[in-house]
Amino acid sequence: MPSSVALLITGASTGLLAGGASCAAVQGGLLAGAVTRRRTPEPAAKPAAKSKPSAQQAATPLAPVGAFLAGKLLSHTVLGALLGVFGNVLQPSPRTQAVLLLVAGVFMVLFALDLIGVKGVGRLVPRPPASFGRLMRRSAKTDSVATPALIGFATVLVPCGVTLSMELLAITSGSAVVGAAVMAGFVVGTAPLFAVLGYVFRRSSQALSGKLAGLTGVVVLTVAAWTMISALQAGGWVSFDAPDTKAKASGPFLVEGGDGSGSGGGGESPESGTTPVRTDASGRQIVTLTVTDFYVPTQFTAKAGVPTTLVLHGKDSGGCARAFTIPELGVQEIVKRDGDTEVDLGTRKPGTLRFSCAMGMQTGAIEFKKDLS
């Protein structure tokens, strides 16, 4: 399970960089209705001299926006917690999680192309029922104090493409707390743009609609590409990271019952102070991966046909790196912040075994060979 703080930050940064524009394009009409319908009528008479607006008048446009965002924060946080519980019950495998992220990426691409104006794509984009849209528009015309909050709460039923990817991330977290954190962080990240747009919509809800849609489409396409690349890496199907030759370790090394000189020349890991690939006195091959906020090394060469144990050496580990996966084997481990976690790899045939963090952002590989000479 990834750190709740790490995913809170991930959700907030995603909301700030892409989610704000994406959600504003989808939910901007509801926001505009909540804001523009909340105006207080001015008294008719007195065509007197113009004066500067008071602080209370200036703050009026932001008050309904705050209520709108408060309702949205509440509904998305509850949804995130429920999705986390759902994911914990199902406990999807790393490759199932990767497929879910791929699906989210595909929806985001369709959503982006629809915003840009590509013909024929709109019918493929999931949309809320027309009756729900009519209900929201009628609600937006009322002057109830609770209206903006209720509309904001209901936006959970009108997700944008980026929201969908965050919802899938909440599922894969497998925790109510972490799921709630990622969704709450996402809404907080979208808040600055919504506040600005709320002020603008107070004066003209149509001024930026066309340009906003096109710009959002480009941003969401970029986020979709990042999501799909991460999904492919999280599934262990490909790796887009360039091999780090400086962080490559090879073996085997005889360190118990021998002189420790070995034949691979890989030396010691600068992070853990232990030999990355070694053979113990019983003949078992030990591969040690040091986990901080990153993986060190990221590339190993080990001997095939030998019983092998992978040791995840946590050294003040944090972030996504703690959620370690080997998609091919269905391995999911939460690395200890400080300490060792062992994973039995069995006796491997020649080939490459890829590993990554649960989000596919950090990757590495162990290449098993028959002959290491």
In terms of Cβ atoms closer than 10 Å to its own Cβ (0-12, 13-18, 19+), residue 181 is buried
- Written as one string, the DSSP assignment of 85-141 is HHHHHH---HHHHHHHHHHHHHHHHHHHHHHHT-TT-GGGS----HHHHHHHHHHHT
The structural domains of the chain, with segments of one domain joined by +, span 4-40+59-234, 245-369
Of residues 265 and 214, more confidence is placed in: 214
Residue 222: predicted pLDDT: 78
CATH code at 245-369: 2.60.40.420
Radius of gyration from C-alpha coordinates of the chain: 26
pTM given for the model = 0.62
Residue 264: predicted pLDDT: 42
Place 106 in a pLDDT band, splitting at 50, 70 and 90: confident
Residue 10: predicted pLDDT: 67
Place 352 in a pLDDT band, splitting at 50, 70 and 90: very high
- pLDDT tens digit string along 1-60? 455 676 677 677 777 766 666 676 666 666 666 655 544 444 444 555 544 544 444 445
- With contact defined as beta carbons under 8 Å apart, do 161 and 108 qualify? yes
Residue 190: predicted pLDDT: 83
b (16+ CB within 10 A) / e for 219-248: bbbebbebbbbbbbbbbbeebeeeeeeebb
Average pLDDT over residues 221-236: 83
| pLDDT over 50 at 110, yes or no | yes
Of residues 262 and 82, more confidence is placed in: 82
Residue 205: predicted pLDDT: 45
Lowest mean pLDDT segment, chosen from 38-47, 57-66, 248-257, 301-310: 38-47
Residue 102: predicted pLDDT: 83
